[in-house]
Amino acid sequence: MARNIKFSLTAPQDDFVFSDAQFPAFVGGFGAGKSEALVTRLLLQKLRYPRLDVGYFAPTFDLVRLIGFSRFEEKLTQWQLPYKLNKTEKLLHLGTGGSVVFRTLDNPERIVGFEVADAGIDELDTLKPEHAAAAWNKVIARCRQKKGPGVANTCAVATTPEGFRFAYQRWEKKRAAGYAIYRAPTYSNPYLPAGYIDSLRTTYPANLLEAYVEGRFVNLACGSVYPDFCRVKNHTDEVIAAGEDMHVGVDFNVYNCTAIVCAIRCGKPRALAELTGLRDTPALVAALQQRYGGHRIHIYPDASGKSHKTVNASLSDLQLLKNAGFIVCARDANPAVRERVVSLNAALCNAGGERLLLVNTHACPTLTECLEQQVFDKNGDPDKSAGKDHAPDALGYFVYWHWAVAKPMAARSVYLPFLNR
């Protein structure tokens, strides 16, 4: 018998629950209603195809028991729909026909032996990235009950963002057709108890609040090299203007030469474009001449460019840049790594909260990702093993040349008795 089912959703929940995307992800802060949205979506899909099954997946059986079982029972009771839950078999049979299949993700190899029409995964990003990827592939392989001609099987995800892990890679960085992301900050939920968000703000540091309140992908690793960089607060839509001077920081690497193209406007730096993955210095010269031939170009290079390591061993990298007509701003040696990092951090956000350096994050995706993700290694130095160092280093050479933070000197007095003789 047909029945009208009434329920209330927040705006982000509504977008997710009724999304037409095959693989929608609801990424939200604590208390944003992620599990509520996921269960609502699955039940509505189940009721559209009463004889078919849906699957609910969570990282552990505790989460299945505490969240999955209780949420589905609560929702079905509220909607006055008959059901029978078999906790041993982890199956919930609806009076309308078909079932909800509950499974865990702790061993992806066990996600076999059943089929569903649609699926939902709760807190996928709490798994290690390789584990999450294996579980995701197994779950979507189970979504193959036929729904009707031309109707796709779907798999939805609801998760808290846990840094740059599987959810970031799949739904943000390498998003393919059919994938859609819906963000839900904690404060989008009007039903939270008074003081809940304030309690989070007094408990978590700023970078964790970006994830756990705003629902954003941020670096949660201990020891971020550029902790105050924010792709929102440090973003600019500014682009390169015709004829203006270009200021290019360069990090020399064989097969991965990196350049960050900047401008100086009203005395402030703007990172507006990037050149990455270039083979060598001649390739860099050709790219700069092709793209910015009408500009006067200042180069701020890695001091290692004095060595003979290009394809033309008779010329140094710096000499190749000078021969191309660029203005080369180079010291005899690179600044100390910590001084360069401190200077770049101060330009990104100083102690007074001013963000001197802005980045066109759309035009500089590699730089943006590296500023977010580079961490310190076990020795307390910026990590170079993950390849996140080249773009920040290139930008840092330019910033240090113009906006170096002076190393503080301790004032001290020394008693020299011979001066009194």
Per-residue pLDDT tens for 45-98? 999 999 999 999 999 999 999 999 999 999 999 999 999 999 999 999 999 899
In this prediction, residue 141 carries a pLDDT of 97
Q: Quick one: pLDDT at residue 235? A: 97
Question: pLDDT under 70 in the chain at which residues?
Answer: 1-3, 205, 207, 222, 305-315, 406-421
Show the tokens assigned to 110. 């066990």
Evaluate whether 149 touches 183 at the Cβ level (below 8 Å): no
What are residue 55's DSSP bridge partners? 101, 119
Domains along the chain? 11-212 (3.40.50.300), 246-403 (3.30.420.280)
Name residues whose C-beta falls within 8 Å of residue 18's C-beta, 6 or more positions apart in sequence: none
| Distance of alpha carbon 248 from alpha carbon 2, whole angstroms | 66
pLDDT of residue 172: 93
What pLDDT does 374 receive?
95
Residue 177's CB: how many other CB atoms inside 10 A?
A: 8
When computed from its CA atoms, the radius of gyration of the chain, rounded to whole angstroms, is 27
pLDDT tens-digit profile of 278-321? 999 999 999 999 999 999 999 999 887 655 455 554 468 899 99
pLDDT at residue 207, rounded to an integer: 67
